[in-house]
């Protein structure tokens, strides 16, 4: 172990690149399954899923692994690319690389950097809002009670809480005399007893729909999202099968199958991701 | 066959006085080149012309001129060993070119292969990688064992033989966008890893050869596959995968 420098050598870096890359492919599949609920399910199920993803301990471990993988993959990728650029200080006056290699395989670093930019903006837009925004709305539904429209918060134990009777804070409840107020962003508290009586769902569904339906920026956001998915597709077109080669898995029987599956994965996954904002922007409601 | 004809060409060639000087692309006109001549014969013809003009001839590497020594190099019109596949530069013929063509001729470009003069590069980095582990230690003090006494699986013997076909020309490094030497090292590691004689030193071999490869300043493989296509001996990417497996195995031992 000591002799081989399992972090430093060229091959070791490639192993880590491949392992983190493949883990991120798994992450993509999981993330996609969740996102597709924006099309195939309702707001409640989507928000339940979002809550599960931010609170379940097993998912927490997976999400930390994902953060780590993205960082490690990016840093390792930059190191490798830096060395690769250094390995040819003087370029060719005439070069014809398309004669022997694919566009994707030659531009993994550029594609990856664009993906990194996308991941950061994507996390600012959704992940950070979900995790840190103090004004994140809680999910409510509108019902008709005796001809009167009424807004009700949905609680995680399947109950409802009339929006008109819930104050934004204890101070507000003291002023307005509301029976209930919101504490810790999602908890419903009884004003007299000051104890928790229920919990609401952060309405990520609403945030997402509003983001892509925004009158000013919704179209731009949708177009940029679709472009980012093209970039991801090209990264994976080479990356998926390349990772197996990096790990030493090249076999006359299995490699064609891995390549075929990799191509399909690289097209289908980004395509399904891209359909979601397009559907929200142009077709929802 | 008398389909040969004479063509006139323009050459753009890298000229560099010595390892320290800067160098630049120079343009030469060369008339009446027979399409039956080889690329290197065409360069000989150019050099005769230069000598007659009392100019310094172009320095380029060559030896066997039959595709076995690996000495000839040259990046021709943006491809290692020129257009055509499965050949070295000495096996490239002028029939691949047309009258009026402009042909770019450049040295291998790699930090680990510094230019010595014009089109000649120093490939001793490959020698040092070989010396780091590309051998088997055998006792030769009069008790050599007949090679056929050790039974070897036919499939492995064939794969080993294919890997051993590598002539160390460096086209893989030259064509790789990363200047990576992994096809060469993969071939050298595989050649021995597949045979019982090579198993004895397998662990040290792959660790040492990869370490030397990294120290020489070659880049890292991105699996673009360009090397496999440009390699005159058809060395397959399978050999890089085998090196990756061998290195992983050796690393956790
Ligand atoms: C969800 C996001 C991503 C996924 C699923 C992904 C997946 C992959 C896979 C499977 C590989 C092939 C590994 C190999 O050849 O051994 C790869 C290579 C690469 N990735 Fe990513 N990647 C992602 C994001 C990024 C980011 C953010 C960057 C950089 C900032 C990046 C930079 C690279 C580079 C430079 C390579 C080529 C490395 C090499 O072959 O030496 N990737 N990626
Ligand atoms: S692997 Fe092929 S291209 Fe590379 S040095 Fe050997 S023969 Fe030349
Ligand atoms: S001169 Fe020997 S291989 Fe070309």
Interval A69-123: pLDDT, tens: 999 999 999 999 999 999 999 999 999 999 999 999 999 999 999 999 999 999 9
Q: Residue A205 in contact with residue A49, Cβ under 8 Å?
A: no
Kindly give the number of the ligand 3 atom that is closest to the alpha carbon of B169.
3
For residue A125, what is the DSSP state? I
Inspect the interface and report whether the beta carbons of A108 and B222 lie closer than 8 Å.
yes
Q: Check if B15 contacts A (Cβ < 8 Å).
A: no
Provide mean pLDDT across the span A41-52: 93
Sheet of strand A160-162, all strands in order from the earlier edge strand to the far edge: A140-145, A148-154, A160-162
Cα distance between residue A133 and residue B62, in whole Å: 69
Q: What is the pLDDT of residue A2?
A: 41
- Beta-carbon-side half-sphere exposure of residue B82 (alpha carbons within 13 Å): 22
Residue A48 has pLDDT above 70, yes or no: yes
Closest partner residue to A92 among B109, B214, B247, by Cβ? B109
Q: What is the pLDDT of residue B4?
A: 87
CA of A261 vs chain B CAs: smallest distance (Å) = 17
Q: Kindly report the backbone phi and psi dihedral angles of residue A187, in degrees, each rounded to the nearest multiple of 5, phi listed first.
A: -90, 140
Provide mean pLDDT across the span A255-270: 98
Instruction: Tell me, yes or no, if the pTM score tops 0.80.
Output: yes
All residue ranges of chain B with pLDDT < 50 are none
Residue A206 has pLDDT above 50, yes or no: yes
Substitution candidate for ligand 1 out of A22, A66, A108 with most atoms within 8 A of CB: A108
SS3 call for B8: strand
Q: What is the pLDDT of residue B147?
A: 77
Directed axis angle between helix B238-251 and helix B202-215, to 10°?
A: 110
Task: Point out the ligand nearest to the CA of residue A70.
Answer: 1
Q: Residue B196 in contact with residue B133, Cβ under 8 Å?
A: no
Cα distance between residue A232 and residue A219, in whole Å: 20
Q: Residue A139 in contact with residue A200, Cβ under 8 Å?
A: yes
Residue A270 has pLDDT above 80, yes or no: yes
Q: What is the pLDDT of residue A5?
A: 55
The neighbouring-strand residues paired with B30 are: B9
Residue A139 has pLDDT above 80, yes or no: yes
CA nearest to A18, candidates A272, A262, A239, A271: A239
Residue A3 has pLDDT above 60, yes or no: no
Q: Is the CB of B71 inside a 6 Å radius of any atom of ligand 3?
A: yes
As for ligand 1, residues whose beta carbon falls within 6 Å of it are: A 14, 17-18, 21-22, 24-25, 28, 70, 73-74, 77, 80-81, 108-109, 112-113, 115-116, 235, 239-240, 242-243, 246; B 220, 222-223
For residue B93, what is the DSSP state? B
- The residue among B157 and A1 whose pLDDT is bigger is B157
Cα end-to-end distance, chain B, whole Å: 60
Q: Which tens digit of pLDDT belongs to each residue from B127-172? A: 999 999 999 998 888 887 787 888 999 999 999 999 999 999 999 9
Q: What is the pLDDT of residue A6?
A: 61
pLDDT-based confidence at residue A4 (cuts at 50, 70, 90):
very low
Between the alpha carbon of residue A239 and those of residues A33, A103, A234, B40, the distances in Å are 21, 12, 8, 39
Cα distance between residue B173 and residue B215, in whole Å: 15
Q: What is the pLDDT of residue B2?
A: 63
Q: Quick one: what percent of chain A has pLDDT higher than 70?
A: 98
Take residue B142 and report the two structure tokens written for it: 């009069």
The full set of domains in chain B, from first to last, is: 6-116 (3.10.20.30), 123-251 (1.10.1060.10)
Residues whose CB is less than 8 angstroms from the CB of residue A76 and which lie 6 or more positions away in sequence, other chains included = A13, A16, A17, A20
CA nearest to B225, candidates A238, A169, A159: A238
Q: Which tens digit of pLDDT belongs to each residue from A151-193? A: 999 999 888 999 999 999 999 999 999 999 999 999 999 999 9
Task: Point out the ligand nearest to the CA of residue A265.
Answer: 1
Between the alpha carbon of residue B158 and those of residues A125, A285, B191, the distances in Å are 57, 65, 10
Taking CB atoms and an 8 Å cutoff, what residues of chain B touch A13?
220
Dmax over CA atoms of chain A, in Å, equals 81
Global ipTM: 0.93
């Amino acid at each position: 172990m000591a002799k081989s420098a399992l972090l430093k050598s060229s091959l070791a870096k490639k192993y880590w690149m491949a392992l983190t890359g493949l883990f991120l492919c798994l992450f993509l599949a999981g993330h996609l399954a969740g996102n597709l609920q924006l099309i195939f399910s309702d707001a409640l199920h989507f928000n339940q899923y979002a809550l599960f993803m931010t609170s379940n301990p097993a998912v927490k471990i997976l999400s930390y692994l994902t953060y780590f993988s993205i960082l490690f993959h990016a840093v390792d990728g930059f190191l490798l690319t830096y060395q690769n650029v250094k390995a040819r200080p003087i370029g060719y006056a005439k070069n014809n690389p398309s004669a022997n290699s694919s566009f994707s395989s030659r531009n993994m670093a550029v594609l990856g950097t664009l993906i990194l930019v996308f991941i950061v903006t994507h996390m600012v837009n959704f992940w950070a809002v979900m995790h840190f925004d103090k004004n994140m709305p809680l999910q409510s539904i509108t019902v008709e009670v005796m001809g009167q429209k009424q807004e009700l918060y949905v609680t995680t134990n399947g109950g409802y809480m009339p929006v008109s009777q819930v104050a934004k804070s204890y101070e507000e409840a003291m002023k307005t005399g509301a029976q209930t107020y919101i504490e810790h962003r999602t908890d419903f508290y009884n004003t007299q007893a000051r104890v928790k009586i229920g919990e609401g769902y952060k309405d990520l569904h609403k945030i997402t729909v509003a983001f892509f339906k925004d009158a000013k920026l919704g179209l731009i956001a949708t177009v940029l999202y679709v472009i980012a998915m093209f970039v991801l597709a090209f990264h994976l077109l080479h990356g998926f099968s390349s990772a197996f080669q990096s790990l030493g898995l090249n076999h006359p029987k299995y490699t064609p199958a891995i390549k075929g599956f990799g191509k399909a994965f690289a097209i289908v996954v980004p395509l399904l991701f891209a359909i979601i904002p397009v559907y929200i922007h142009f077709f929802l409601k | 066959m008398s389909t040969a004809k004479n063509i006139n060409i323009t050459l753009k060639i890298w000229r560099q006085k010595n390892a320290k000087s800067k160098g630049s692309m120079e343009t030469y006109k060369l008339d009446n080149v027979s399409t039956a001549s080889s690329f290197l014969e065409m360069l000989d013809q150019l050099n005769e012309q230069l000598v007659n003009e009392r100019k310094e001839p172009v320095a380029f590497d060559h030896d066997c001129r039959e595709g076995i020594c690996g000495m000839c190099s040259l990046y021709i019109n943006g491809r290692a060993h020129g257009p055509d596949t499965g050949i070295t530069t000495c096996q490239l013929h002028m029939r691949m070119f047309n009258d009026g063509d402009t042909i770019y001729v450049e040295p291998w470009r790699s930090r680990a292969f510094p230019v010595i003069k014009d089109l000649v590069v120093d490939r001793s980095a490959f020698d040092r990688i070989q010396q780091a582990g590309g051998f088997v230690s055998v006792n030769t003090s009069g008790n050599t064992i007949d090679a056929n006494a050790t039974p070897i699986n036919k499939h492995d013997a064939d794969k080993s033989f294919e890997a051993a076909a590598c002539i160390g020309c460096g086209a893989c490094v030259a064509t790789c966008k990363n200047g990576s030497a992994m096809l060469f090292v993969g071939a050298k590691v595989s050649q021995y890893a597949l045979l019982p004689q090579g198993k004895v030193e397998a662990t040290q071999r792959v660790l040492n050869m990869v370490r030397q490869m990294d120290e020489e300043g070659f880049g890292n493989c991105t699996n673009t596959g360009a090397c496999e296509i440009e390699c005159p001996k058809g060395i397959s990417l399978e050999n890089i995968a085998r090196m990756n497996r061998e290195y992983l195995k050796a690393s956790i031992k």
